[in-house]
A = this chain, B = another copy of it.
Amino acid sequence: MANQFGVRIRQLREQQNLLLRQVAPLLKMDTPMLSKIERGERPVKREQITVLSEVLKADKNELLTLWLADQIYDVVKDEKLANEAMQVAEKTINLKKRNKK
């Protein structure tokens, strides 16, 4: 599982000298769970990012971007055609954006 996200939130948590057991309850999970999330062993839900960014006083967009990048990476990580696929996907994204939808 890709994990720039987990690495980053661990970094943020440690910078603020917060313990897993302090942060976990705020996210309504237990300590082992948060540990696993930070190490990318368990997936993070999109909705949890908002709470995380508040608790860790982090920029939500930064975290969201990392989280999305992880999802994307998971899709293509073992693929020879990763770069080609990314290009095609990017084209599609920009096309849809232009069409207001």
Residues of A whose CB lies within 8 Å of any CB of B are 2, 4, 61, 64-66, 68-73, 75-77, 79, 81-86, 88-90, 92-94, 96
Please state if A88 and B75 are interface contacts (CB–CB under 8 Å): no
A23 to nearest B CB, angstroms? Answer: 24
* Complex partner residue of A73 from B2, B66, B83, B92, CB under 8 angstroms: B92
Chain A interface, DSSP helix/strand/loop, else mixed: helix
Chain B residues near A86: list those with CB within 8 A. Answer: 69, 72, 86, 89-90, 93
Of chain B, the residue at the smallest CB distance from A74 is B75
* Complex partner residue of A76 from B68, B84, B85, CB under 8 angstroms: B68
Please state if B75 and A68 are interface contacts (CB–CB under 8 Å): yes
A101 to nearest B CB, angstroms? Answer: 10
* Complex partner residue of A81 from B4, B65, B82, CB under 8 angstroms: B65
* Complex partner residue of A68 from B61, B73, B82, CB under 8 angstroms: B82
